[in-house]
Amino acid sequence: MKDSLVLLGRIPAHPDSRCWFLAWNPAGTLLASCGGDRSVRIWGREGDSWICKSVLCEGHQRTVRKVAWSPCGNYLASASFDATTCIWKKNQDDFECVTTLEGHENEVKSVAWAPSGNLLATCSRDKSVWVWEVDEEDEYECVSVLNSHTQDVKHVLWHPSQELLASASYDDTVKLYREEEDDWVCCATLEGHESTVWSLAFDPSGQRLASCSDDRTVRIWRQYLPGNEQGVACNGSDPSWKCICTLSGFHSRTIYDIAWCQLTGALATACGDDAIRVFEEDPGSDPQRPTFSLTAHLPQAHSQDVNCVAWNPKEQGLLASCSDDGELAFWKYQPSEGP
């Protein structure tokens, strides 16, 4: 297990600052990082090393908390504590800020593009989730402001194939939203975590959702459609989500991020104890009651809290992580063959 996660390289991505988040572009060739130094950096591979190809530093007045690539890979969104979200358009190695989305009352904590590329979601410490629509002329319009959470919303994420939006909050819940007659409504609330839910990840099929929390557990939720054979009750035509697995006792501090590899199904976590862990579902485990085993645990992956982990979407086993220590690290995950 010790050798399952091997360090490939380390970069001081945001020196003297925190590196808050990482996002691979859909092609897996570029990695965007953002940090407390108010900048976004784009990293590309040159031979065996990673070099900084662009620095986007004029966009924000405060920490950039999250970045997200559009599904086509031509746009990058950056969410900042300055209450704005910038949309950058890629022109070869250059990025130009084409729009700034305003409206949130305070720090924007997360941004996410829907797989269709037409919708964008943002969330904030002002407890709201905003849904934006993009048209052919790159014009962004707010289509909904959702006030369902009762506290700071930490993360938003779109379902990989359905037009379903998920959000995680300081109010200990995960909420799901869908469109209903021209407006967006909260269609499910997932309760169970005992503290702030920091991040979310859907599995490759989109049937399961993983959430990680300040309560040091990871929870796996499964979607049950009305009329399901397991007899899970549903509210009208809305699917129900039930917690089918809880991973507890593995993390000694807050779990800040979780990433579900779309190629292999491996689950990576970023923890406040400076470690990175990887879990895999046990082969043959019951789909309604899955079990996961810890297949990699790297203590001291960074010298401070690990804020983000991100699987490369094209290269199997390539994992990137970043930390409060301002560093970005690349890892090769290879589960050991063994009895």
Partner 1 sequence: MAGSQDMFDAIVMADERFHGEGYQEGYEEGSSLGLIEGRQHGTFHGAKIGSEIGCYQGFAFAWRCLLHSCATEKDSKKMKVLESLIGMIQKFPFDDPTYDKLHEDLDRIRGKFKQVRVRVSFGS
Asked if 167 interacts with partner 1 (CB under 8 A), we say no
Q: Shortest approach of partner 1 to residue 302 CB, angstroms?
A: 38
Measured torsion, CA atoms of residues 215, 303, 112, 188, in degrees rounded to the nearest 10? -10
Distances (CA, A) of 142 to 104, 133, 138, 273: 11, 6, 13, 38
Give the DSSP letter string of 179-222: EETTEEEEEEEE---SS-EEEEEE-TTSSEEEEEETTS-EEEEE
CA–CA separation, 314 and 320 (whole Å) = 13
């085993």: which residue's tokens? 293
Binding residues for partner 1, total number by CB under 8 A: 15
Specify the residue, 149 or 297, whose C-beta has the smaller distance to partner 1. 149
Per-residue contact string for residues 182-221; x = within reach of partner 1 by CB under 8 A: xx--------------------------------------
Question: Could you tell me which of 111, 114, 105, 119 has the C-alpha nearest to residue 85?
Answer: 111
Q: Strand 267-271 relative to strand 276-281: parallel, antiparallel, unpaired?
A: antiparallel
Asked if 144 interacts with partner 1 (CB under 8 A), we say yes
Q: Shortest approach of partner 1 to residue 315 CB, angstroms?
A: 40
CA–CA separation, 73 and 5 (whole Å) = 28
Asked if 141 interacts with partner 1 (CB under 8 A), we say yes
Contacts of partner 1 in 79-108 (CB under 8 A): 102-103
Q: Which stretch binds partner 1 (CB under 8 A): 10-18, 146-154, 206-214, 288-296?
A: 146-154
Specify the residue, 104 or 193, whose C-beta has the smaller distance to partner 1. 104
Specify the residue, 165 or 301, whose C-beta has the smaller distance to partner 1. 165
Q: What three-state secondary structure class fits 4?
A: helix
Asked if 128 interacts with partner 1 (CB under 8 A), we say yes
Which residues sit at the interface with partner 1, rule CB under 8 A?
102-103, 128, 130, 139, 141-148, 182-183
